[in-house]
Amino acid sequence: MSKYKLFLLRHGEGNWNKENRFCSWVDQKLSEDGVKEAQDCGRLLKEQGYKFDLVFTSILSRSIQTAWLVLEAMGQEWVPVVKSWRLNERHYGSLIGLNRAEMALQHGEEKVKRWRRSYDITPPPIDESHPYFLEIYNDRRYSTCDVAKENLPRAESLKEVLDRLLPYWGSTVVPEIRKGRTVLISAHGNSCRALLKHLEGISDADIASVTLPTGIPVLLELDENLKPVKPRQLLGDQAKIQAAIKKVEDQGKAKPST
């Protein structure tokens, strides 16, 4: 029997999502379409009668902005928003800033898919010569983390995302859910996928085929042990959701230049 409801949300489309680039820890705002996705998500949740008690986000602007827009559309701006780097997107290392389709053309679709979707393959690490290294590691937000800046990731597999996310989940999010609070996690494709893997017991192989489109809320109904009592529900127009999933999956396909 369902005891708790948990909502996961991949932020609305960011500017680099639109350009099909690996965004990762580079701080990007939502695109115009991303703003609309977040607002539409909030309206949908309001129409369905949901009310949040607490929202968790990463410390990246696109995650925070999505949470604000959702709450505004729901008329629930007062709901507390708690931020942590542990909900950040996966760190894509030296791939940050590169175009996925161009990478697929250069390295092959299968290799890019393994970099993007596999559980335990870590991309090449970022180093100080990378054009976005200083933009990330000189950002003041990373001096607020619960680990020293020099110990923050330089690249991550999905497994490593889960490893840094789980302590926060257990110490901070779970106690709020157990209090009976309805929680929204407004995060990123990979931090949400990592949490889904943990909660649903998805295998290392099967997680590669789990795709979350931007701006689509995912409802998990959990029992007293925080185990799902039914399959996850992607809320909204199912035909549009399937089209959005295909769009995400096609990002890693090679597109020859014309």
| Active centre residues (catalytic) | 11, 89
12 carries a ligand binding annotation:
yes
Q: Which residue has the tokens 């039914």?
A: 230
Quick one: tokens of 101? 């389709």
CA 125 to chain centroid, in Å, comes to: 20
99 carries a ligand binding annotation:
no
Q: Alpha helix locations (H) across the chain?
A: 15-18, 32-47, 61-74, 100-107, 109-117, 133-137, 158-168, 174-178, 189-200, 238-250
77 carries a ligand binding annotation:
no
Quick one: tokens of 95? 């791939």
130 carries a ligand binding annotation:
no
17 carries a ligand binding annotation:
yes
Distance CA 196, CA 122 (A): 19
34 carries a ligand binding annotation:
no
156 carries a ligand binding annotation:
no
168 carries a ligand binding annotation:
no
Q: Measuring CA to CA, which residue among 242, 149, 160, 236 is closest to residue 193? A: 160
Binding residues: 10-17, 62, 89-92, 116-117, 189-190
Binding residues for substrate: 10-17, 62, 89-92, 116-117, 189-190
